[in-house]
Amino acid sequence: MRVYISVDMEGIAGISHPHPTDPGHARYPEAVALMVGEANAAIDGAFAAGATDVLVNDSHWSMHNLTPADLDPRARLLQGQKTLSMVAGARDGAFEVALFVGYHARAGHPTGTIAHTYSRAPVETRLNGRPTGEYGLNAMALGAWGIPVGMVAGDDALAAEVAEWLPWAERVVVKTGSGTNAAASVHPTVARDLVHAGAERAVRRAAAGEMHVLDVGSPVMIEADYAKALVADVAASFPGAERVGDRTARFSYADADSAFRAFLAGNRLASTVD
């Protein structure tokens, strides 16, 4: 049983404000330690359920946050700048289930802790007309590659969104949002126990054939609303994308893999302008 784990930071217990998630902030090392703790919990839970190989993708910011020496030595760690970002390493890995740790609600969510989608640029993102976030877009890409998402861990707002998009997945809640820059978290040790249990259940259920890939059909349309028209113009400059409405870039393609890649590229372009 090969298990893929994508680890973000904003959804980790004990992290309730954007500042500590910035590598330049004084409390960033504390945030990294919390991130490592939940990553290790997921790794251990996966192996407890029979995993034979675990790849961890560092999926926050510039994607070299996790301290390798502190990570469970049974897992492999993928870090650095990656074309496929938060799902890099999964496409050709023949993984049987994916686990999302430290994830968060979509851009524009009214209460989700540090809610955003792939950058601070989009104010809302939609997949085939339905608002979604990184969890949905990433699950769509993984689904196109035959990989189901078995667990998503983060705050209560995320869990509610995931229930709509990935109802089969284990939903682990480690904190409750209180506005977008505040949250009430369980203690880190409690969060790790919850993540461990969720990962173990997810891997066992995947082995039993109880998980499903997210199939959104064809064609696939991703739309991103931006705060300024200029930003949408730049995002829509990617080949095949189009500018619609007041501040929206639309990425419509025949398949999920192409749409996902186009959105990533367009959003990276959007993030270069103010």
* 108 conformational bin, left if phi > 0, alpha if psi -120 to 50, beta if neither: left
- Of 39, 80, 84, 83, the C-alpha closest to 63 is 80
Amino acid at 23: P
Distance CA 128, CA 227 (A): 21
116 catalytic? Reply is yes
Instruction: Determine what percent of the chain falls in helix, strand and coil, rounding each to the nearest 5.
Output: 35, 25, 45
Residue at token pair 């078995």: 150
* 129 conformational bin, left if phi > 0, alpha if psi -120 to 50, beta if neither: left
* Pairing verdict, β 149-155 and 170-177: parallel
The answer to whether 43 and 93 are in contact (CB under 8 A) is: no
- Of 68, 101, 97, 61, the C-alpha closest to 191 is 101
- Single out the catalytic residue among 60, 104, 109, 116: 116
Sequence-ordered list of residues with C-beta below 8 angstroms from that of 34, at least 6 positions apart, any chain: 12, 13, 14, 15, 188
* 179 conformational bin, left if phi > 0, alpha if psi -120 to 50, beta if neither: left
Catalytic residues: 116
